């Protein structure tokens, strides 16, 4: 099959598959004299010591049921690919929060492959930074549903940044409002 078809089957963009080819990460791949890259259709076997983990996340407790559906979809995907999952991590937290306990437990487990449903489940902003840093530790991130439109990604990133600032602003206001209410109650009880 052509490299473009291989990329679609793996759920990655063509450029990622192209980079994998030049790094020698795609077994049984060769380039024809015409420049076309062909990948033989033999089943790709992962090394036995592969530590495959899955990560699912939702933003708030009202979407807890969606979290379970997300975990099921990821598990079905891994089953279809023949992956043996070492551990599944799931949590309810904002994708902008960098203090997610399950996320850090997952990273500390030194996985060799992390499977997520969408890029924004791993992080709302800076996915490429995380992916490149994990690559340095010989860990790959496999995204089931890739976004192929850069404009859509740009809009999502903008919305994520605005959401982050709004959460901080409203969080500060909420804290101040609670503080003011406590002060009022204390002043009323003293008088």
In the chain, where the domains are located? 3-39, 52-143, 148-191
pLDDT for res 16: 85
% residues pLDDT > 90 (the chain): 25
For 174, phi and psi rounded to 5 degrees? -60, -45
Mean pLDDT across the stretch 64-85? 89
Q: For residues 79 and 62, is the Cβ–Cβ distance under 8 A?
A: no
pLDDT over threshold 80, residue 161: no
Query: How far is C-alpha 16 from the chain's CA centre?
Result: 16
Separation of alpha carbons 22 and 29, rounded Å: 10
**52-143 belongs to which homologous superfamily?**
Resolvase, N-terminal catalytic domain (3.40.50.1390)
Query: Beta strand 52-58 with 85-92: parallel, antiparallel or unpaired?
Result: parallel
For the segment 109-117, the average pLDDT, to the nearest whole number, is 93
Tell me the CB-side half-sphere exposure of residue 77, using CA atoms within 13 A.
22
What's the pTM value of the predicted model, to 2 decimals?
0.59
**Which of 11-25, 35-49, 125-139 is most confident?**
125-139
| pLDDT of 74 over the 90 cut | yes
How much is the average pLDDT of 142-161? 68
Q: What is the pLDDT of residue 172?
A: 67
Concatenating the DSSP letter of every residue in 17-62 gives HHHHHHHT-STTEEE-TTS-EEE--SPPPPPTT--EEEEEEESSGG
For 153: left if phi > 0, alpha if psi spans -120 to 50, otherwise beta; the answer is: alpha
- Look at the chain and count its residues: 191
pLDDT at position 107, please? 92
**What mean pLDDT is predicted for residues 159-171?**
70
Q: What is the pLDDT of residue 164?
A: 67
Of 91-95, 106-110, 148-152, give the lowest mean pLDDT range. Answer: 148-152
Confidence of residue 160 (pLDDT cuts 50, 70, 90): low
Cβ neighbors of 141 (< 8 A, separation 6 or more) are 113, 114, 116, 122, 130, 131, 134
Structure tokens at 12: 């990655």
């Amino acid at each position: 099959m052509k490299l473009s078809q291989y990329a679609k089957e793996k759920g990655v963009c063509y450029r990622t598959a192209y980079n994998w080819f030049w790094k020698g990460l795609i077994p049984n791949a060769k380039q024809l004299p015409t420049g076309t890259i062909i990948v033989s259709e033999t089943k790709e076997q992962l090394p036995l010591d592969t530590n495959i983990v899955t990560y699912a996340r939702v933003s708030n407790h009202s979407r807890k049921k969606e979290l379970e559906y997300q975990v099921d979809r990821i598990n079905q995907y891994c089953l279809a690919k023949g992956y043996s999952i070492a551990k599944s991590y799931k949590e309810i937290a904002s994708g902008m929060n960098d203090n997610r306990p399950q996320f850090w437990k997952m990273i500390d487990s030194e996985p060799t492959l992390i499977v997520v449903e969408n890029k924004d489940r791993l992080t709302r902003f800076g996915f490429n930074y995380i992916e490149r840093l994990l690559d340095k530790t010989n860990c790959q991130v496999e995204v089931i549903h890739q976004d192929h439109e850069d404009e859509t990604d740009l809009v999502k990133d903008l919305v994520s940044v605005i959401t982050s600032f709004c959460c901080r602003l409203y969080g500060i206001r909420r804290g101040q409002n609670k503080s003011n209410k406590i002060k009022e109650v204390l002043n009323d009880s003293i008088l």
